[in-house]
Each structure stands twice: as structure tokens, then as C-alpha cells.
């Protein structure tokens, strides 16, 4: 709980708190060290709280959903600076997103993806606004494979017409680029994973 957290923070501060300022002094920093403060001192903590309240009241900060690098093992978010990205060969999987208003099931948009596991979190299918193959579908709705959830077909210039089929499944809660598309088109973020990386019921 909070009390144990604070106890450990203060223990750490007593043991290691002077290391950083000692290094700064050795480097020649000429701050007024008599005014040094620690963030969790009562007066400082109250000032931080007051600053956040004022910023919130002015609408300058808010609570919202955002993508993070989540570690299922650590059960916490990991900084972008601590993530190592690597290029890996993948496989393109093809799926039919059938038009929701087509009872015959014959009219569909073919979508190629390297991340079939994220289909459960799809919020839209996206095509390039100038792609003649799919322009007639924009504004209509399709059914997500396996779930049957109805999602819109949208147009966005982010789509690479020459990659895969030229149609992109959009999963805003599980891909940074899809997140940006989702913001532009006000798409819902459907999180399909639990904190331990198992699939949820969403």
C-alpha cells in the first residue's frame, strides 16, 4: 500500500539520495544547495498536488487512455527508452471482412495482417481515400472475423495501397500507428489483453 511505498522511498532517499547532488557538485553545478528539497517532503508534496489540481481545472492535463509498453512479468509499464525493437520476418494472413449489410456474405474487403491475434481488438477497416478498389466501401460497415462485431470502413492517407491488399485493419489499443488513426477518426480503444497477457472477453 501507500504507507509501505512511502517508507521504502524514504529508506532509499536516506541511503542514496545524496548521490546525484554530490555528482552535480563535483561537476561544478552552482545551485543554492541550502534550498534543496525532496519531492515527497510534506510541503513539496502539497505544492505538487496543488499544481496538478490547477492544471486539471484549467483543462491542461486530463486522464485518458494511451498506449504503453506493458510488461506482463513486471506488471507495470516500461519506458520507451527501455524497449529494444528488432526487425523480424513475419507472415501475412488474409481475412475477409464481410460487409455487414450483405446477407449473402459475398461482398467483402480482403485484409492482410501480420498480427492476426489482434483481430479481437479491431475498431475499423481503413483504406486509402484515393484507392478506387475500395472507395465504394467507405462509410459502410463490415463484420470482424471470429467476433462478428460491426465496425466502420474509414479512409485515411496513412494506408499504404501497395502493402498487402491495400486495406488495413485498425486496432487502436494495440498498435501505435493504429492509435493515431483511431484518434483522428474517434475510434474506440478495445483492449483485448489482460494484465498477464492472456486474452480477455472484450
Q: What pLDDT is recorded for position 67?
A: 87
Q: What pLDDT is recorded for position 62?
A: 85
Beta bridge partners of 142: 99, 151
List of residues 6+ apart from 92 with CB closer than 8 A: 112, 113, 114, 164
Residue 20 has pLDDT above 90, yes or no: no
Beta bridge partners of 199: 193
Q: What pLDDT is recorded for position 202?
A: 65
Per residue in 33-85, pLDDT (tens digit) is 899 888 889 999 999 999 999 999 999 998 888 888 999 999 999 998 998 88
Rg (CA), the chain: 24
- Which of 14-18, 75-79, 147-151, 156-160 has the lowest average pLDDT? 14-18
Question: Got the DSSP string for 146-169?
Answer: TT--EEEEEE-TTS-TTSTTSEEE
Q: What are phi and psi of 168, to 5 degrees?
A: -120, 130
Per residue in 93-141, pLDDT (tens digit) is 999 999 999 888 899 999 999 999 999 999 999 999 999 999 999 999 9
Q: Positive or negative CA dihedral for 148, 71, 178, 165?
A: negative
> What does the alpha-carbon distance between residue 196 and residue 198 come to, in Å, rounded to a whole number?
6
Amino acid at each position: 500500500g501507500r504507507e509501505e511505498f512511502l517508507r521504502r522511498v524514504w529508506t532509499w532517499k536516506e541511503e542514496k539520495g545524496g548521490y546525484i547532488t554530490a555528482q552535480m557538485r563535483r561537476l561544478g553545478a552552482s545551485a543554492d544547495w541550502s534550498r534543496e528539497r525532496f519531492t515527497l517532503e510534506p510541503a513539496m508534496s502539497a505544492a505538487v498536488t496543488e499544481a496538478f489540481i490547477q492544471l486539471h481545472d484549467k483543462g491542461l492535463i486530463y486522464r485518458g487512455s494511451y498506449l504503453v509498453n506493458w510488461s506482463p512479468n513486471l506488471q507495470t509499464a516500461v519506458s520507451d527508452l527501455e524497449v529494444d525493437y528488432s526487425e523480424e520476418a513475419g507472415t501475412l494472413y488474409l481475412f475477409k471482412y464481410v460487409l455487414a449489410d450483405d446477407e449473402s456474405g459475398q461482398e467483402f474487403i480482403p485484409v492482410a495482417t501480420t498480427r492476426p491475434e489482434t483481430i479481437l481488438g479491431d475498431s475499423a477497416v481503413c483504406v486509402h481515400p484515393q484507392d478506387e478498389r475500395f472507395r465504394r466501401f467507405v462509410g459502410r460497415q463490415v463484420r470482424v472475423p471470429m467476433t462478428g462485431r460491426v465496425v466502420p470502413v474509414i479512409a485515411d492517407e496513412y494506408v499504404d495501397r501497395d502493402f498487402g491488399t491495400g486495406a488495413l485493419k485498425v486496432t487502436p489499443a494495440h498498435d501505435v500507428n493504429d492509435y493515431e488513426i483511431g484518434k483522428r477518426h474517434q475510434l474506440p480503444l478495445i483492449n483485448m489483453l489482460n494484465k498477464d497477457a492472456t486474452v480477455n472477453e472484450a
